[in-house]
Structure 1
């Protein structure tokens, strides 16, 4: 009896569904017919080339990133989420700073029409877990690089005049290839450890994309910097391993993701061997690393809790805020070489001078460095040195001086 009742219900529901669908189709057809009878003659649309199209708008939004939240909730709806690894790449240049043009691996036509120019330095930005594709990392770092560009290229003369480590960079560039790596289709999954398991696959996609630029557009690997935040830094490291025997010039690791990676061997996490030069800026110990990573490791405010950071994740995010400012600041962030004997005991080797954190171009150095910052933007404090004078108490004071 119950089975017969169930079959009746299914049939009734099926009939109702068909009626609703037919009704909707009839309404749509009727509406289209009415529109066709009253609409003016159609004007033939101009065919847009990739140069005319905006594949990815990257400006400060007044509201939420709707596209990100669609991806986020898609992981919660059964049978609609997908585990397929996907990564998109959007090119920004001085002539189109806010409207990215999509580049696709093995699509020669899109590459040719995009405006990518291998004569310009290439900077690839890789966001982290739960980051929005139009978030502040991509926007601020992209804007910072493009702010250095000028219509006429005086970079060669400026580079010869710029001191190595004694002042912030004064180099000007005719242009950059700033490429935003958007993997938010995967990163929007709330399952962090499931996402972390895909780092090697994502690193492979990134390395294959750079190979495509090398083979089809004449890109030199030594002109490439990868700038990765959190899991993006681990993806950068994986790409560096998989591009071997070639090497990227620089990897800037912005508070590289620690959970799941802290206990891993160097083969499975970001390491100094992943590029000619690897520099990390470590700003939190709960989401990042406490131990040094790469050739040079900078610890702003001892690398634990950043100033005026009261919300969870604020210190983690502060790494890319600092980095964007290292590119544009006239003062710069300057670190003192140090020895970390324990979590609470740091020996500052102030007689060894000061070393610039981040910046453009990168300046290779080795060791661990302590950096002091302001509590609010602009965070850079400039160079700091000890000035010897005789105060009333007979103690030397530490004063801050701008570069």
Structure 2
């Protein structure tokens, strides 16, 4: 059968159209394969749909991107800014006092952890250092903020070394970090010249940390004692420290809806803040949430979660909490 010229042209156009459609489909599939979307909560209280494969290059981080704000009982609300290498900036810092650090996460600032600061000021005579790295952490793209973590951790390690040079005892230092800040704390402990006493990792971030070497995230080797509080599906699921606590199973928290992921993620630092002045977070050593709920671990070792946890504690622990303050059930 022979086609007339106009019919042949129509057929060629249809074939070309199908080829273009196929090309667009292939391009779309290729782009889809290169994207890696995930919902991640930010310190701004919102959920963010982010492409973890977008803008993953390393961004330079300098000392000016990280500030160290000192609070003591003599200046409980007005910070003194301490500079690495400048002893004259130490202000009310005393090397004879224990020192406590708090480090925020992505899209956050020290304001997110003010309850921890106030808890320490209330609990005793401490040097309280709030580490503010909101510059790198405020990047709306998660990947660059995550990639800044090792350099921020290195700067915090140099600050710890500076305090030790001024006579502070690293063994009397505790560093608490939330989400990305938990990994900053771990890297700081890993890089510091002296072994710090304790790290508290509050729901350490999981996205883009899979396969990361232990030296580049929080790990049990980063301090004499590492305690981890797991509270959401967005945090690290497996044990990371000497003692790992899983309130309400470690995925969704009481009072937080299943879709309100940032509520469960942020509950980790709310629980820890309360624990600074409370030993009522009674936890049971157990191998699973199901066994805990079924009462199979009621006769096991008990320990208070959070600030009162004894440094020699090891294992995984489970507990129930309330859905609103006070969270501890006693």
Corresponding residue for 1:380? 328
Residues 84, 363 of structure 1: alpha-carbon distance in 2 compared, 3 angstrom cutoff: closer
Are positions 1:177 and 2:137 aligned together? no
- Aligned pair count reads 268
Corresponding residue for 2:68? 89
Q: Normalising to structure 2: TM-score of the pair?
A: 0.77
TM-superposed CA distance for 1:93, in Å, is 0.4
Corresponding residue for 1:258? 206
**Residue range with higher mean Cα deviation, 354-363 or 98-107:** 354-363
Residues 361, 282 of structure 1: alpha-carbon distance in 2 compared, 3 angstrom cutoff: closer
Given that 2:101 and 2:175 are in contact with CA atoms closer than 8 Å, whether structure 1 keeps it comes out as yes
Given that 1:262 and 1:289 are in contact with CA atoms closer than 8 Å, whether structure 2 keeps it comes out as no
Corresponding residue for 1:238? 187
Q: List aligned pairs for 1:265-276, cutoff 5 A.
A: 265-276=213-224
Corresponding residue for 1:27? none
Corresponding residue for 1:35? none
The CA distance in 2 between the partners of 1:299 and 1:238, in whole Å, is 23
The CA distance in 2 between the partners of 1:220 and 1:239, in whole Å, is 15
CA displacement 1:276-334 (0-9 Å, x = unmatched): 0000000012x2011111000000000010011132311000000000111112x5101
Corresponding residue for 1:278? 226
CA displacement 1:109-135 (0-9 Å, x = unmatched): 212xx1100111100111111113322
Q: Normalising to structure 1: TM-score of the pair?
A: 0.63
Corresponding residue for 1:301? 248
The CA distance in 2 between the partners of 1:308 and 1:357, in whole Å, is 19
The CA distance in 2 between the partners of 1:333 and 1:270, in whole Å, is 23
CA displacement 1:35-64 (0-9 Å, x = unmatched): xxxxxxxxxxxxxxxxxxxxxxxxxxxxxx
CA displacement 1:212-270 (0-9 Å, x = unmatched): 1111x2011101100101111100111111114x2110000100111111332323221
Residues 226, 109 of structure 1: alpha-carbon distance in 2 compared, 3 angstrom cutoff: same
Alignment match of 1:103 (pick from 82, 97, 112): 82
What's the Cα RMSD here? 2.0
Structure 2: any 5+ residue segments left out of the alignment?
A: 1-42, 44-58
Are positions 1:322 and 2:271 aligned together? yes
The CA distance in 1 between the partners of 2:214 and 2:291, in whole Å, is 26
TM-superposed CA distance for 1:352, in Å, is 2.0
The CA distance in 2 between the partners of 1:88 and 1:230, in whole Å, is 18
The CA distance in 2 between the partners of 1:258 and 1:182, in whole Å, is 21
Alignment match of 1:336 (pick from 279, 284, 288): 284
Residues 132, 104 of structure 1: alpha-carbon distance in 2 compared, 3 angstrom cutoff: same
TM-superposed CA distance for 1:371, in Å, is 1.0
Alignment match of 1:218 (pick from 153, 160, 167): 167
CA displacement 1:44-103 (0-9 Å, x = unmatched): xxxxxxxxxxxxxxxxxxxxx9xxxxxxxxxxxxxxxx8544110010000110001000
Structure 1: any 5+ residue segments left out of the alignment?
A: 1-64, 66-81, 150-174, 383-403
